[in-house]
Amino acid sequence: DGGITQSPKYLFRKEGQNVTLSCEQNLNHDAMYWYRQDPGQGLRLIYYSQIVNDFQKGDIAEGYSVSREKKESFPLTVTSAQKNPTAFYLCASRMADTQYFGPGTRLTVL
């Protein structure tokens, strides 16, 4: 079954801890993206990668880090430097001109 998976669906962490969100796709898409969505707000781009071993900062990259060692995987680490990490995180991949989204991970920092 093809698609984009994100795990876990819900994640709770204590303040000051780093946490890594998983994003995997078996669609053979080259480009992948991480967005953040806050309640009642639109999506904001954190990082994106157009190809393996390459990635670019989006609009709100501070406090986040990514890696792209495999085409299928684009994990996002939320570091303790991120001032307000509680949010809904969305991963997407792109084929041709269209981005397709995963189900999202809701991160709550206590």
The footprint of another protein (CB under 8 A) covers: 4, 6, 31, 33, 35, 42-43, 45, 48, 50, 56, 58-59, 88, 90, 92, 94, 96-104, 106
| Residue 56 main-chain phi, psi, to 5 deg | -130, 150
Q: Which is nearer to another protein, 16 or 42 (CB)?
A: 42
Measured in Å, how far apart are the chain's first and last C-alpha atoms?
Answer: 35
Report the nearest approach of another protein to the CB of residue 71 (Å).
Answer: 17
Q: Which is nearer to another protein, 80 or 100 (CB)?
A: 100
Give the separation between CA 37 and CA 89, rounded to whole angstroms: 6
Contact status, residue 21 vs residue 86, Cβ threshold 8 Å = no
Q: Which is nearer to another protein, 4 or 66 (CB)?
A: 4
Report the nearest approach of another protein to the CB of residue 80 (Å).
Answer: 26
Give the separation between CA 98 and CA 95, rounded to whole angstroms: 6
Report the nearest approach of another protein to the CB of residue 16 (Å).
Answer: 27
Give the separation between CA 10 and CA 54, rounded to whole angstroms: 28
Report the nearest approach of another protein to the CB of residue 43 (Å).
Answer: 5
Give the tokens for residue 98. Answer: 């269209």
